Amino acid sequence: MASSGQVKASHILIKHEGSRRKASWKDPDGSRISATTRDAAVAQITSIRDDILVGKSRFEDVASRLSDCSSAKRGGDLGYFGRGQMQKPFEDATFTLKIGEISDIVDTDSGVHIIKRTG
């Protein structure tokens, strides 16, 4: 249950060579991530976002298959969080979204994301 000042969101994360941690559940040794440029990660997340926005893909399905975050096993669901719990660019983007909206590309130390506010 959310308290006031909290949001609920899901996200899709694509890591790249500049990400603070180079491993993920899909790439445990980080070799693929280390070989991915930021531009390639942006191109991938842009294509993913476009497919979701036109109804070609469902956010949760894509998150489960392609997100580099362990939240992928929950369709990208991060649950509820408040200010100061996420990286600032991620937090700022999430708090500006209306429920059901999907963000533009958000760049953090973890990689590039798209965020869907769910609560």
Q: How far apart are the C-alpha atoms of 115 and 12, rounded to whole Å?
A: 7
Please report the beta strands in 1-119, taking only residues with DSSP state E, as ranges in sequence order.
6-14, 77-82, 106-108, 111-117
CA distances from 115 to 30, 51, 56 (A): 23, 14, 17
Q: Which residues are catalytic?
A: 11, 69, 87, 110, 113
